[in-house]
Amino acid sequence: MEEINAKGVILRAFDEYRLKSCIDFRPRNEEFYYISVRKLNGCFSYVGRTLSGQQLSIGRFCDSMATVQHEFLHALGFFHEQSRYDRDDHVKILFENVEKGFENNFEKVNKTDSTVSGLPYDYNSVMHYGSEAFSNGKGPTIVTKDPKFQDVIGQRQQLSPIDVKELNRRYKCNSTTAFHMFCSFSNGSMCGMNTCSNTDNDSGWEMVKQAQGGPETDHSTLPTASSKNGTEEGYFMHASTARGEEGKTSRLETKMMEPTRECHVQCLQFYYYHSGNESDILNIWIREFDDQFDSEGTRRLMGQITGPQTSHWRIHHVSLNATKNFQVEFEARTGAGNSSGGFSIDDINLSEIECPHGSLQIDNYMESNNNKSIIYSPRQYTIDGYAYHESALPCPELAPVKIAHPPMDLDSGPCVPRIFGFSPAMVASPALTLLLALMLSMP
Ligand SMILES: [Zn+2]
């Protein structure tokens, strides 16, 4: 299981690179330069393109997202952050606390070789050592000049925004490999989407700040957000099923998108809130177009939401497999019963990667955190039919949670204080949505 987990994590790490940069990874054909990923002793990589076929090791306990991303950043030419030529302006290395024989890990890289790209020193970089790295047990080896960053250095959750910027500058990326669109409807922008309905005098989907019957706010600015004073409440899209008759349909369609990756998989991620009748339906379609003369396109139903109301915004994923230019269409359909609300959607994200195979959403996290017991996801299945649960353990010192995949020991997993998701604009929601993405069924 350990190998399966490592493989899944590595594939997820590749997808994160595809989402955030123009870097792509593919199996080797005849290429002279390549990376051979092995399970050797420890986690390591050479810096840059040094050997024709360099070995990169994802050893035991190295199978976490950020560690894999860290090693691949080395292979992509990155040194450790505290090796920058100007690091003495930002951190102090306490050599008296460094274990004998390991001092060379704290050497500086000269100005011409430093990977700086005109960007500021980044305490939050996934390439920065933690304060106790190579300590002989007599205290920290790195002290930040600004004390508030002392506990920040060494984060191993994800690429920092500056890591991403640096990667994109070094590789001259103008776009990303897999990211297509994100629409938060903030500032009242529809991101080029259109609405229509089959009812006169009712345009169907509307952009609102709150909806009759709920929700009271958009997804990303819930009232208990830590930034509650600074944030303007945002917009979301709402289709009422309280007005109009049974069979009324309201459609919201995205602008045209073009699949660019050969794999022809796309993941649509969005948040929804259902405050209507349980017979109301939200259909998710794609409409594919043969060529520029095809004005109608061909519609295929890809997903459906119906049933009881929700008490919170819920995350939802729909796997798409468009092979031609396509639009996504959200169709709210009024059912038979009485409704005092409708469907709402927010923070739509479309990427050319596989959807997560499992997700676990913890609502009212701040309250549920109090009992500090393990929270289990609904049962998930691997492609071979093995059942498993995802588990999340609240982590008091590093709010909010520690996650573990089944093969991992709960006591050795990383603490994860951020949300896992696809959104490049990472949304910190107080009713914390924790997204666990496992790619167990990938070949
Ligand atoms: Zn390293």
Q: What is the mean pLDDT of the chain?
A: 81
Q: How far is the CA of 74 from the centre of ligand 1 (A)?
A: 7
Decide if 71 is catalytic: yes
- For the chain, percent of residues with pLDDT exceeding 70: 77
Tell me how far apart the alpha carbons of residues 306 and 76 are, in angstroms, rounded to a whole number. 46
Q: Per the annotation, does 80 bind a ligand?
A: yes
CA distances to 134, 393, 405 from 199, rounded to whole Å, are 69, 49, 48
Q: Which two tokens stand for residue 303?
A: 């997903």
Tell me how far apart the alpha carbons of residues 35 and 178 are, in angstroms, rounded to a whole number. 21
**Vertex 39: Cα angle to 108 and 7 (nearest 5):** 105
Q: How far is the CA of 46 from the centre of ligand 1 (A)?
A: 9
For the chain, the farthest-separated pair of C-alpha atoms sits apart, in whole angstroms, at: 79
pLDDT in tens, 401-428: 434 433 333 233 333 332 232 222 222 2
Q: Which of 3, 31, 71, 331 is catalytic?
A: 71
Q: How far is the CA of 47 from the centre of ligand 1 (A)?
A: 9
CA distances to 43, 86, 111 from 106, rounded to whole Å, are 18, 13, 15
Q: Per the annotation, does 70 bind a ligand?
A: yes
Q: How far is the CA of 77 from the centre of ligand 1 (A)?
A: 11
pLDDT in tens, 326-374: 999 999 999 999 999 999 999 999 999 888 766 667 666 555 555 566 6
Q: Per the annotation, does 316 bind a ligand?
A: no
Q: How far is the CA of 17 from the centre of ligand 1 (A)?
A: 17
User: Are residues 316 and 270 in contact, defined by beta-carbon separation less than 8 angstroms?
Assistant: yes
Query: Which residues, given as ranges, of the chain have pLDDT below 70?
Result: 1-2, 221-232, 357-360, 362-375, 377-378, 380-443
**pTM exceeds 0.85 for this model:** no
Task: Determine the pLDDT at residue 366.
Answer: 54
